[in-house]
Structure 1
Amino acid sequence: MDIEVWVWWLIGAVALGIPLVVTAMPEFGMLALGAAAASVTAGVGAGIITQVLVFAAVSVALIGVVRPIAARHRAQRPQLASGIDALKGRQAVVVEQVDAGDGGRVKLGGEIWSARPLDKSQSFAVGQEVDVVDIDGATAVVM
């Protein structure tokens, strides 16, 4: 019982798919797709040289094109701000006058924070909305 060449290419594609699942290395998947393309080439009756060239061309093209795109997407994951970084740039409401002398208090993120103005000459009245520029220890720097 002879196994046809296209079946061998499919077996190769499956064999390359196993390390893809085990190691999560996408290159194995790209090689598996190259083997699947060679299987189709063998199925339509092309010679072994054409099959190997199709395998190599598809595999190299996928690695050369898809891999850099995947790496770029992996590097561009959105950064979620948390903790103090999440408070910077938000608005707060003054609950106790904020000035350079004694500072003051603002309501920021549902909590009362001590606050001081970014510019020492500024003063903010109760009820005024201010922007949080920075957090210095437990003090919100506002403007």
Structure 2
Amino acid sequence: MDIDAWVWWLIGAVALGIPLVVTAMPEFGMFAVGAVAAAVVAALGGGVVLQVLVFVILSVALIAVVRRIANRHRLQRPELATGVDALKGKQAVVLERVDSGGGRIKLAGEIWSARSLDGTQSYEVGQEVDVVEIDGATAVVI
């Protein structure tokens, strides 16, 4: 029994999909897509040289395009701040006197321990302060 070339290409695509799942390396996925394209060329009656050319050109093109897009996204900072980064720059209300030794504020609906950024400055109950950073579980305010 002779197996058609397109079946071999599909077997190759599945074989390339296994390391994609195991290693999470997207390059294997690009090669698998190239193998599927080569299987289509083989099923349509294309020669071995055309099948290999389609596999190589499509795989390399996908790797080049996807890598460029991935690098661009990796270098961009997220526009949406989350977690403690989202609290920086927010205003809070002093609940207990805040100085360099500590105090309490209400920040984003929660009660936080706080200390003043300037060791000589203190803030009284009811005063609004700005959060400049979060140091562990303590808000540093001015």
- When the two structures are superposed, what TM-score results if normalisation uses the length of structure 2? 0.71
Question: Larger radius of gyration, structure 1 or 2?
Answer: 1
Change (3 A) 1:23 1:136: closer
Asked if structure 2 preserves the Cα contact closer than 8 Å seen for 1:39 and 1:51, the reply is: yes
Residue in 2 aligned with 1:16? 16
Residue in 2 aligned with 1:142? 141
Provide the C-alpha distance between the structure 1 equivalents of 2:14 and 2:87, rounded to a whole number of angstroms: 50
Provide the C-alpha distance between the structure 1 equivalents of 2:13 and 2:135, rounded to a whole number of angstroms: 58
Q: How does 1:104-119 map to 2 (within 5 A)?
A: 105-109=103-107, 110-111=110-111, 113=113, 115-116=115-116, 118=118
SS in 2 for 1:11: helix
Query: How many aligned residue pairs are there?
Result: 138
CA distances 1:69-104 after superposition (whole Å, capped 9, x unpaired):
23444565757444xx665323221345668xx988
SS in 2 for 1:131: strand
Change (3 A) 1:117 1:126: farther
Asked if structure 1 preserves the Cα contact closer than 8 Å seen for 2:9 and 2:35, the reply is: yes
Q: How does 1:1-143 map to 2 (within 5 A)?
A: 1-73=1-73, 78=78, 80-82=82-84, 87-95=87-95, 105-109=103-107, 110-111=110-111, 113=113, 115-116=115-116, 118=118, 126-134=125-133, 141-143=140-142
Instruction: Please say which of residues 132-141 and 57-66 is displaced more in the overlay.
Output: 132-141
Asked if structure 2 preserves the Cα contact closer than 8 Å seen for 1:114 and 1:139, the reply is: yes
SS in 2 for 1:45: coil
Indicate the percent of aligned positions where both proteins have the same amino acid. Answer: 65
Provide the C-alpha distance between the structure 1 equivalents of 2:102 and 2:13, rounded to a whole number of angstroms: 68
Asked if structure 1 preserves the Cα contact closer than 8 Å seen for 2:112 and 2:137, the reply is: no
Asked if structure 2 preserves the Cα contact closer than 8 Å seen for 1:96 and 1:125, the reply is: yes
SS in 1 for 2:92: strand
SS in 2 for 1:31: helix
Change (3 A) 1:45 1:75: same
Asked if structure 2 preserves the Cα contact closer than 8 Å seen for 1:89 and 1:131, the reply is: yes
- When the two structures are superposed, what TM-score results if normalisation uses the length of structure 1? 0.71
Q: Runs of 5+ in structure 1 lacking a partner? A: none
Asked if structure 1 preserves the Cα contact closer than 8 Å seen for 2:13 and 2:32, the reply is: yes
